[in-house]
Amino acid sequence: MLFKRNLLAILLVVFLIKRCSSDNGGLSRGSFPEGFIFGTASSAYQYEGAVKEAGRGPTVWDTFAHSFGKVIDFSNADVAVDQYHRFVEDVQLMSDMGMDAYRFSIAWSRIFPNGTGEVNQAGIDHYNKLINALLAKGIEPYVTLYHWDLPQALQDKYNGWLDRQIIKDYANYAETCFREFGDRVTHWITFNEPHTFAIQGYDVGLQAPGRCSIILRLFCRAGNSATEPYIVGHNVLLSHATVADIYRRKYKATQHGTVGIAFDVMWFIPMTNSSEDIDATQRAQDFQFGWFMDPLFFGDYPSSMRTRVGNRLPKFSTAEAALVKGSLDFVGINHYTTYYSKHNSSNIINILLNDTLADSGAISLPFKYGKPIGDKASSIWLYIVPQGFRSLMNYIKQKYGNPPVIITENGMDDPNDPFISIKDALKDDKRIKYHHDYLSNLSAAIRKDGCDVRGYFVWSLLDNWEWAAGYTSRFGLYFVDYKDNLKRYPKNSVQWFQNLLKSA
């Protein structure tokens, strides 16, 4: 009888172990190298709220979000999900999940309300409290210095990223952060998605500061889509390199930190096997990722950009090229989806747009002969193609010499459907499958292909304000009830990650 009871107990344990493993589809912490970091991600403007509190100055996104018709649901982020006041609660949510790290951004205008000048001590105090709260729970802070929220004062003063003065002002802000927080922060991300804000803000005008000249300037009051995105990208690269140099010369020896930059990177697949489409697919990648990666690794822009953009593409001096090349310790990758690419054989796009898309000579679409490339999430642009993740990691390994990579964002959204109960909204099986499939491909890229990937951050911890999509999109692991004091509720994906992070 005792033997039977012991046997039953053993079988029950085995069942529970298998059940836990099957809940995570065979994935576990052991699917990733020792020391691999799991975390969640956010940004100041999408999360904090409190836009007029404690000395914070206005940003270009405050201005843009309050401009009629710029946000699909006419909302703004004045309150967002109120993390400025609720960060202690949110840090506990991360701890409950077993997350190792939290990626958040510092709002430049909380430190310097006017972009330059006198430091706002209340801003320093707030981020000190957040950093200390994270460390008290054993959660490592990964800090993004710039996540799109340029102080409005600098936009008004000299058009922000279009003027080289921004390099000096950004460096002063960044060094202030190194000095104030660097004794506890050892992972710095200089910029989030410079490609996105160069294109969306200065080419098509759909994000702050809303500059463009495409299609007879129907959408924007000012701008030049043929030149401004390239100027912005150039000044961002010089700003990043300047700040990385400051950190290495003045802070690294005592603070022992690392400096990287986070890029938005789709994977692209040729629409057909034709040489034209294969070449166009490479150009699509050059005008997205290579635009920034090639200068950082090789000292200049991709040859396809130099050839096709010509004199509109800024040039690095010899000293600048030397400063930019090698100016990062890791590459941050924000990856969500994969598209087909094909050669642009039409002159209509060139005539109507005269911008970076026309320059690339490539058209990228999530459809082939009317069939979608994968299942669709809520966002119009987000199609689920997990195998693209592995392909992208191998591309980075092969082209750039296998640099250290951190996945700084990955995730998918559900619609904010007012007709679905909270109980049903928490059943996010599609999100669980997304993360399982993408993480499985990431694990294969690391374990089987030898890609040097060191961490993975989920976008996002909470449902939040999603830029021009407002509150129509829910990316969070935690559901935020916008109708009831922004209460947080764990979706089923929270339990899934808990199981994953507890497993051996």
27 within some domain: no
> Mean pLDDT, to the nearest integer, of 469-476?
98
21 within some domain: no
338-343 sheet: strands from edge to edge: 267-270, 338-343, 362-365
37 within some domain: yes
The proportion of the chain whose per-residue pLDDT surpasses 70, expressed as a percent, equals 95
What pLDDT band is residue 353 in, cutting at 50, 70 and 90?
confident
How many domains, the chain? 1
Count CB-CB contacts under 10 A for residue 459: 22
15 within some domain: no
Over the stretch 82-116, which tens digit does the pLDDT of each residue have? 999 999 999 999 999 999 999 999 999 999 999 99
Domain that includes residue 354, residue range: 33-501
- Give the distance from CA 206 to its chain's centroid: 17
22 within some domain: no
Check residue 346 and give its pLDDT. 80
Amino acid at 378: S
392 within some domain: yes
Q: What's the CA gap between 35 and 303, in Å, rounded?
A: 38
Q: What are phi and psi of 177, to 5 degrees?
A: -65, -40
> Mean pLDDT, to the nearest integer, of 339-343?
98
Check residue 504 and give its pLDDT. 80
Give the bridge partners for 226, in sequence order: none
Check residue 15 and give its pLDDT. 40
Check residue 216 and give its pLDDT. 58
- Whole-structure pTM value: 0.95
- Residues with catalytic roles: 193, 409
306 within some domain: yes
CA distances from 208 to 112, 130, 211, 224, 225 (A): 19, 27, 8, 15, 14
Contact 381, 162 (CB under 8 A): no
CATH code of residue 181: 3.20.20.80
1 within some domain: no
The proportion of the chain whose per-residue pLDDT surpasses 90, expressed as a percent, equals 91
> What is the dihedral angle through the alpha carbons of 470, 474, 478, 483, rounded to the nearest 10 degrees?
60
